[in-house]
């Protein structure tokens, strides 16, 4: 993965910009995050079209969604041909944590409950493959979408037991892994606060399997 030197927020200087106030802008936000497959993006835009009479009146039809998504990806990757240091460090740290027994969920659930369901599934897969699971960390869909606009990502963490013993150690390991990858972290070091990662998340969109 190529890493850029940072600077201007490239997600916002292309022909199409992420915008939570418009249908196409919301799809572009998901392109910027990069965790949806192309088909998921197409399905999202089709749903947006079905809900937006203004889009329909402007001639936008569901059968045009694939072409629009392709154009959004093209323009995004022209503006963001390589990963920002924050994105590279974050992704690398999460992969290293998973290999070290801390499973993660990145924008996999609408709320905390859904996100925890996602990390439970990740833990089950890891255990079935013979891996070790000490705990988890996660960010919700809202967290990762907000990250695109605010340059700040909130990361929750915990353990898979009833009393939560050991959660602080998991948080410390997560914060340490991020800092070792030169990611700016703000966290008071207790279980009552989520870890905050600060920086511009910019990454080229790569097609994912459905």
pLDDT digits (tens, 9 = 90+) for 92-125: 999 999 999 998 888 776 667 667 777 778 787 8
DSSP state of 160: S
Q: What is the pLDDT of residue 46?
A: 94
Do residues 206 and 37 make contact, with C-beta atoms less than 8 angstroms apart?
no
Q: CB neighbours of 25 closer than 8 A, spacing ≥ 6?
A: 16, 17, 18, 19
Pairing, β 135-139 against β 152-158: antiparallel
Per 3-state DSSP, the chain is made up of helix, strand and coil in percentages (nearest 5) of: 50, 10, 35
Which H or E element spans position 25? helix 23-33
- Residue located via tokens 């990502």: 153
Strands (E), the chain: 102-106, 135-139, 152-158, 184-186, 195-198
Please tell me the distance from the alpha carbon of residue 2 to that of residue 192, in angstroms, as a whole number.
Answer: 36
More confident position, 194 or 163: 194
Q: What is the pLDDT of residue 6?
A: 54
Do residues 172 and 135 make contact, with C-beta atoms less than 8 angstroms apart?
no
Pairing, β 135-139 against β 102-106: parallel
Please tell me the distance from the alpha carbon of residue 85 to that of residue 3, in angstroms, as a whole number.
Answer: 6
Q: What is the pLDDT of residue 1?
A: 64
Query: Helix crossing, 38-51 with 65-79: angle to 10°?
Result: 120
Mean pLDDT of the residues in the chain: 88
More confident position, 27 or 110: 27
Do residues 105 and 120 make contact, with C-beta atoms less than 8 angstroms apart?
no
Q: What is the pLDDT of residue 5?
A: 54
Mean per-residue pLDDT, 121-132:
81
Q: Is the pLDDT of residue 19 over 70?
A: yes
């Amino acid at each position: 993965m190529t890493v850029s030197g940072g600077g201007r927020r490239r997600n916002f200087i292309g022909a199409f910009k992420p915008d939570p106030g418009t249908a196409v802008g919301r799809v572009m936000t998901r392109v910027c995050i990069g965790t949806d497959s192309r088909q998921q993006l197409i399905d999202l835009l089709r749903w947006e079209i079905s809900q937006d009479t203004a889009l329909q009146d402007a001639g936008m039809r569901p059968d045009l969604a694939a072409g629009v998504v392709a154009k959004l990806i093209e323009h995004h990757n022209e503006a963001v041909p390589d990963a920002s240091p924050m994105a590279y460090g974050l992704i690398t740290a999460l992969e290293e944590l998973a290999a070290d027994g801390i499973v993660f969920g990145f924008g996999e659930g609408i709320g905390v409950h859904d996100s925890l369901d996602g990390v439970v599934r990740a833990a089950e897969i890891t255990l079935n493959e013979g891996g070790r699971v000490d705990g988890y960390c996660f960010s919700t869909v809202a967290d990762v979408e907000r990250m695109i606009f605010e340059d700040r990502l909130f990361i929750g963490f915990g353990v898979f037991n009833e009393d939560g013993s050991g959660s602080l150690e998991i948080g410390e390991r997560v914060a340490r892994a991020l800092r070792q990858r030169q990611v700016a972290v703000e966290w008071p070091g207790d279980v009552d606060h989520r870890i905050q990662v600060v920086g511009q998340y910019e990454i080229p969109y790569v097609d994912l399997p459905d």
